Amino acid sequence: MSLGKTTRASVLAGAFLMGSALVSGCTSTTGGAATPAPSSPGASSEPTSDANVPKVASPLDASKYESDPCGLVPADELARLKFTDPGEPRQNDGSAENKAGPNCGWKIKGEGISLLVILGTGNRDRGGGGLAGIQADYERPNGVTKFLERAPDVEGYPAIYWDTRDRRATGNCSMAIGIADDLAVSVVTGGYEGQQDSCDAAQGAAAGIVRTLKGA
């Protein structure tokens, strides 16, 4: 399975990008989103074949949000998703769970529903960024990426579903949106009823992120 194919298939994907460590969602104590263990594959970070990965025709500049990852999701989209409490930002402080890049999490109290957004600048800076990094990790024999499937484009930008396994039916949906050839934003939702509502929430948040980066 390559990212260039549009057919849906249950094939391998998982923790965010090759050569990086990532917690792909909040822990079970913070709302029920996915929590694959951080991993640091030792394989080369050579990029996968360009033919396997859709190119980003109009890269977006996310540099201002490296210090404000919570600002990526617009307030109206958070309100639509019923996240009323402020997000909790975490910067790349060197800990394993934050090596992928700055991130921000939201929770709906009492409902176990969560949203996590990760700006993958850490992966980019280590040479494993963008959708190409996820594809390359999937293609490696010892890669941690165990589920990978092309998702509908988000506001004109290529996207994938990814995870250590396909957990969408249990209400946990993980997406990555390529905003540049070497940079992706990951969106993880957890605690929903099933695949449709969890991925609808992820796609809505992802669309809001792209609109933010376009300056809309």
Domain boundaries, the chain: 11-214
* CA–CA distance, 203 with 153 (Å, rounded to integer): 9
Contact yes or no for 153/159 (Cβ under 8 A)? yes
Taking the CA atoms of 125, 128, 132 and 134 in sequence, report the sign of the dihedral they define.
Answer: negative
Residue 184 has pLDDT above 90, yes or no: yes
- CA-closest candidate to residue 54, choices 156, 125, 187: 156
Question: Can you give the pLDDT at residue 160?
Answer: 96
The pTM of the full predicted model, rounded to 2 decimals, is 0.79
pLDDT tens for each residue of 88-121: 998 766 665 688 999 999 999 999 999 999 999 9
**What mean pLDDT do residues 28-45 have?**
36
